[in-house]
Structure 1
Amino acid sequence: MMDRQDIDQLALRLVSLVPPGLAQAHQDLRTNFSDVLAHGLRRLDLVTREEFDVQSQVLARTRAKLDGLEKRIADLETMAAARGS
């Protein structure tokens, strides 16, 4: 997720797009942009990179176990079919 510094940098970039005639409003706009961006990102229910990486590792281990079990079942089915013939 974006940290406060990233949000502030994005808000500063948005403020830089405001016409120069509104220079006195830049600080207010920057604060408002930061608050709106932070609130919006919190509502997105995002996970951190660390949480994502942990879940990716869990998924990879689960996938490996599943592949192994599928192979084992296939081997057992082959053995059962050979005995039944």
Structure 2
Amino acid sequence: MINPAKIEEIAKQISSNMPQGVRNLAETFETRTKQAIQAKLTEMDFVSREEFDIQSKVLIRTREKLTELETKVAELEAKLEQHKSAD
């Protein structure tokens, strides 16, 4: 996700380069620019790096658990086959 500080820096650069007569509108322009950018980023459904990292860890744990369960199922199937063969 884009860093909010970077968005603020870009907005400040834009407002600082405005002609003197327009500088009194710079604060309003900066606020509206940030709001518009943030609204568009929200629409894009990005996740934060923190949320991505959390979900990655959850996925790793889930894969590990799945591997464990697959191994147990294979062991149980083998025991079942052995039991069927013995009968």
- TM-score normalized by structure 1? 0.66
Structure 1: runs of 5 or more not aligned: 16-22
What amino acid maps onto 1:36 in structure 2? A
1:77, distance to aligned residue in structure 2 (A) = 0.4
Matched residue type, 1:69 = L
* Number of aligned residues: 77
**What residue in structure 2 maps to residue 74 of structure 1?**
74
Q: CA RMSD in A?
A: 2.8
Q: Based on CA coordinates, which of the two structures has the bigger radius of gyration? A: 2
1:79 to 1:10, Cα distance in 2 relative to 1, 3 A: farther
In 1: Cα distance, 2:48 partner to 2:7 partner:
15
Counterparts of 2:77 and 2:52 in 1: how far apart (Å)? 37
1:3, distance to aligned residue in structure 2 (A):
2.8
Match of 1:7 in 2: 7
Matches within 5 A, 1:6-45: 6-9=6-9, 24=19, 31=30, 33-45=33-45
- For structure 2, list consecutive stretches of 5 or more residues without a partner in the other structure: none
Q: What is the distance in 2 between the residues matched to 1:11 and 1:68? A: 52
1:46 equivalent to 2:46? Answer yes
Counterpart CA distance in 1 for 2:63 and 2:47 is: 22
Larger RCO, structure (CA 8 Å, separation 6 or more):
1
Look up the equivalent residue of 2:56 and give its one-letter code: S
Quote the residue 1:57 is aligned against.
Answer: 57
Instruction: Give the share of equivalent positions with the same residue, in percent.
Output: 35
